A and B are shown apart, each in its own frame.
Chain A
């Protein structure tokens, strides 16, 4: 079974631009979560989607948004990029049938550099 895939793997953008990152979960997984990983802050939760609905949201500004499609693929968008948005963006999927297991499987991440 294929793992979680994220595209693109690397991205360089300029301040003020916007960016869209994509995540394809493991087949059959319905929950997709997004994280921002930086050396000083560790993993910061952005949001979680389940069945095309945002089920949970972290403490990030409205410039960060996401969505999930009917095939469970998810995208996140960051508008008006700032230097501080440079980070590794991780996507994780989970089977989440019972709602209790919450074991997450991670993709390789998208390395975003904002100049």
Chain B
């Protein structure tokens, strides 16, 4: 069965630290990849997405993610986090003809000022 793994469940960083959140999926065919963010008390919102083309995609608020097909990974990065980046981050994959989005369990990020 298709699955998405987010390796870090809880991450605590200080402001200005660099961030990398891991996301791996299990599916050998064509995928569409997403990172969503849920700020405290707010809706889930799209951070960035990859459908095709340049495997390095840039999203909102300085986030970027790199699709590495050989590693089945789509890791999220930010060079310098801010306190306002404190949120829950979800990786999601749309695989092949399956119309369902498969979600990771999420990573809770806390940034200390």
Residues of A within 8 A of B (CB): 3-4, 33, 35, 41-43, 45, 48, 55-56, 58, 90, 92, 99-109
Q: Which residues from chain B contact A100 at a C-beta distance below 8 Å?
A: 32, 51
Q: Is the CB of A55 within 8 A of B104?
A: no
- Chain B interface secondary structure, helix, strand, loop or mixed? strand
| Beta-carbon contact of B90 and A42 below 8 Å | yes
Q: In the complex the two chains form, is A55's CB within 8 Å of B51's CB?
A: no
Judge whether A45 and B100 touch: CB under 8 Å.
Answer: yes
**Quick check: B99 and A56 within 8 Å, CB to CB?**
yes
Using a Cβ–Cβ cut-off of 8 Å, how many residues does chain B contribute to the interface with A? Answer: 20
Q: What is the CB-to-nearest-CB distance from B103 to chain A, in angstroms, rounded to a whole number?
A: 4
Q: Please measure, in the bound complex, the distance between the C-alpha atom of A115 and the C-alpha atom of B51, giving whole angstroms.
A: 43
Which residue from B90, B94, B104 sits with its C-beta under 8 Å from A102?
B94
Complex: A35 Cα to B43 Cα, angstroms: 13
9 of the cross-chain contacts (CB-CB < 8 Å) are A33-B101, A35-B103, A45-B100, A45-B101, A48-B99, A92-B44, A100-B32, A104-B46, A106-B45
Q: Which residues of A contact B106 (CB under 8 A)?
A: 42-43
Residues of B within 8 A of A103 (CB): 34, 46, 49
B58 nearest CB across to chain A (Å) = 16
- Chain B residue with minimal CB distance to A33? B101
Residues of B within 8 A of A107 (CB): 43
Q: How far is the CB of B107 from chain A (nearest CB, A)?
A: 10
The interface residues of chain B lying within 8 Å CB-to-CB of A33 are: 101
A108–B32 contact, CB under 8 A?
Answer: no
The answer to whether A56 and B43 have CB atoms under 8 Å apart is no
Contacts of B13 in A (CB 8 A): none
A55 to B43, CA, bound (A): 24
Asked whether B44 lies within 8 Å of A106 as measured between CB atoms, the reply is: yes
Give complex CA distance A107, B36 in Å.
Answer: 13
Contacts of B94 in A (CB 8 A): 102
Q: In the bound complex, what is the Cα–Cα distance between A105 and B44 (angstroms)?
A: 8
Asked if B44 contacts A42 (CB within 8 A), the reply is no
Tell me, in angstroms, the Cα distance from A92 to B46 when the chains sit together: 12
